[in-house]
Amino acid sequence: MQQRQADSSGYMSEDTIVSRISGAGGAISVLRVSGPDTLRVVASLASNAVDLIPRRMERVALRGASGAVLDDAMIAVFKRPHSFTGEDAAEFFLHGGSYITGAVVREILRLGVRQALPGEFSFRAVRNGKLTVDQAQAIHDLVSATNASAHGLALERLSGAQSKIFFELAEVLRNALVLAEAGIDFSDQDLDELGLERLKNQVIPVIERLASIATSIERGRRIQEGVSLVVAGLPNAGKSTLFNELLGQERSIISEEAGTTRDVIREAVRLRGTSSVSEATFVVHDTAGLRETDGRIEKQGIELTRRAAASADMILFVIEAGSQATQVLAEWENLGRPKDRTILVLNKIDTLDDGPAGDSCLKELHEWRERTGVRDSVPVAAASHRGIDELTERMILRAGEWLDRQPCETILTRQEQVDAVERAVSDLRRALNADAHDIFAADLRQALDQLSFFIGSTSADDVLGRIFSQFCIGK
Ligand SMILES: Nc1nc2c(ncn2[C@@H]2O[C@H](COP(=O)(O)OP(=O)(O)O)[C@@H](O)[C@H]2O)c(=O)[nH]1
Ligand SMILES: [Mg+2]
């Protein structure tokens, strides 16, 4: 069988493509066909399907070239531009199972359709103006969201609420562009509103706003991927025990032998609490215990711990109840005393003479807060899960500082978004240095092009249309 490959134009081609769009396994398997030949493919496979009403499910018998029935299936056809891709498209809902899916796909390929490239349906949706690039990526964020904040943010991106600010800023730029274009043609006339300095002043607040949006990626990453949390402390403090308790699984080896954990072990977990942001995703890192050592591998492990702690959003500094202060404080010093990012965890409080509820526990907590300057401290007995819920609550509360956001507050979650915003900012900064209207206009047009990532395309016609509709040139 001859399988068609994507031609050299790859994503830019306008042929008909097919791909499974549901995950493997399950009772139903969904295929999507998109492109100009779609209706021919449907007619060929489902000969009993006449007068299909678009966007309505119909039951059809799918037949191969030999006339044999492949499946008793459901189908929905979509006429352009009213489909996900903006092209003629069809979705086949087959009985699950790799044999049926494979047989129907082979049949579709035999009809001259090509296997879709990764993300090609979304690409076509963007090309046909059904989605912006940003919205296409939002679908990915939505699917990979692991917590309510990430889910809410991705939904806002998909609905366009996240890009509202970009439409507003682009509007300011387009208006300045219209005036600049007019300034090119009427530079011999002394028209006040076309003065270059005046136009530049309109651009300055746009630059400031974009630059501030670019910094939201820090929060966006924490929302989308999780708050990075490092469990650190001296050997045998109970870091691995605590790590496993947070994860709810035996992920890290626990041992009374000091120096057991030598690598940084990393695991994402969504934790629930009862505070304002009632859940948060954490990327938790278990680390090698901090101490002076001659062991080469252990030394490397400790170096990794320090690096992980340096870049962590949050640190759980685990101290064994009854520890000598000097050694603990020396390692706290070595970490660079990150007091604002740290929650102190006093572990093994079950071993205190007067028990976990006794005064010595409170006294010790107080002393460690004084010595380290850390404001948050939680007593736990990790091995028996005691205090873990309180600790989780505290962690989520702290994470809330990053995860809480106003509805529709623009937060970037991906580097591509930051790149687009930063390129726009640099185009606009260049525009501020322009010494002629046409150079200024060219820089603005480039900046608008960058913002099309969020708002779709701006064509030259668009600008021309505005010149004639908004600006009274004939005076
Ligand atoms: N009594 C008591 N022992 C604990 C507690 N948490 C951990 N341990 C013990 O302390 C030892 C070291 O624990 P581990 O988690 O491997 O410490 P790490 O070196 O900091 O990772 C093990 O024998 C644990 O069973 C606790 O809350 N109470
Ligand atoms: Mg350990």
Nearest CA to ligand 1 atom 28: 348
pLDDT in tens, the chain (475 residues): 444 555 545 677 889 999 999 887 789 999 999 999 999 999 999 977 778 899 999 999 999 988 899 999 999 999 999 999 999 999 999 999 889 999 999 999 999 999 988 888 888 888 888 888 888 888 888 888 888 889 999 999 988 889 899 999 999 999 999 989 887 766 555 556 568 899 999 999 999 999 999 999 999 999 999 999 999 999 999 999 999 999 987 777 888 887 777 888 899 999 988 655 578 999 999 998 888 888 888 888 888 889 999 999 999 999 999 999 999 999 999 999 999 999 999 999 999 888 777 888 999 999 999 999 999 999 999 999 999 999 999 999 999 888 888 877 899 998 888 999 999 999 999 999 998 999 999 999 999 999 988 888 654 444 444 443 443 333 3
Q: Where are the beta strands (DSSP E) in 168-302?
A: 227-233, 265-272, 279-286
Locate tokens 């800023």: which residue? Answer: 169
Ligand 2 centre distance from Cα of residue 383 (Å): 13
Nearest CA to ligand 1 atom 9: 238
379 lines ligand 1 (CB under 6 A): no
Nearest CA to ligand 1 atom 22: 256
Domains and CATH numbers, the chain: 10-127 (3.30.1360.120), 139-216+412-470 (1.20.120.430), 231-403 (3.40.50.300)
Distance CA 136, CA 119 (A): 9
Angle subtended at Cα 105 by Cα 103 and Cα 106, rounded to the nearest 5 degrees: 65
Nearest CA to ligand 1 atom 26: 348
DSSP state of 47: T
Region label for 198, one of left (φ > 0), alpha (ψ between -120 and 50) or beta (otherwise): alpha
Residue 248 token pair:
């709810």
| Nearest ligand for residue 347 CA | 1
| Nearest ligand for residue 236 CA | 1
98 lines ligand 1 (CB under 6 A): no
Angle subtended at Cα 70 by Cα 66 and Cα 74, rounded to the nearest 5 degrees: 130
DSSP letters spanning 324-363? -HHHHHHHHHHTT--GGGEEEEEE-GGGSTT-TTSHHHHH
Which pLDDT score is estimated for 8?
44
Work out the end-to-end distance of the chain between its first and last CA atoms, rounded to an integer number of angstroms: 69
356 lines ligand 1 (CB under 6 A): no
Q: How many CB atoms lie within 10 A of CB 255?
A: 12
265 lines ligand 1 (CB under 6 A): no
Helix (H) or strand (E) holding 207: helix 196-214
Nearest CA to ligand 1 atom 12: 236
Nearest CA-CA partner of 138 in 116, 162, 120, 114? 162
260 lines ligand 1 (CB under 6 A): yes
Do the beta carbons of residue 60 and residue 48 sit within 8 Å? yes
- Report every protein residue that has its C-beta within 5 angstroms of ion ligand 2: 239-240, 261
Which pLDDT score is estimated for 473?
36
Ligand 1 centre distance from Cα of residue 11 (Å): 55
| Residue 168 CB partners (closer than 8 Å, separation 6+) | none
Distance CA 203, CA 180 (A): 12
351 lines ligand 1 (CB under 6 A): yes
Estimate the crossing angle of helix 217-224 against helix 148-159, to 10 degrees: 120
Which pLDDT score is estimated for 468?
37
287 lines ligand 1 (CB under 6 A): no
Nearest CA-CA partner of 211 in 458, 441, 447, 418? 418
220 lines ligand 1 (CB under 6 A): no
Angle subtended at Cα 368 by Cα 365 and Cα 369, rounded to the nearest 5 degrees: 85
Nearest CA-CA partner of 35 in 99, 110, 100, 128? 128
Q: Where are the beta strands (DSSP E) in 252-394?
A: 265-272, 279-286, 314-320, 342-347, 376-379
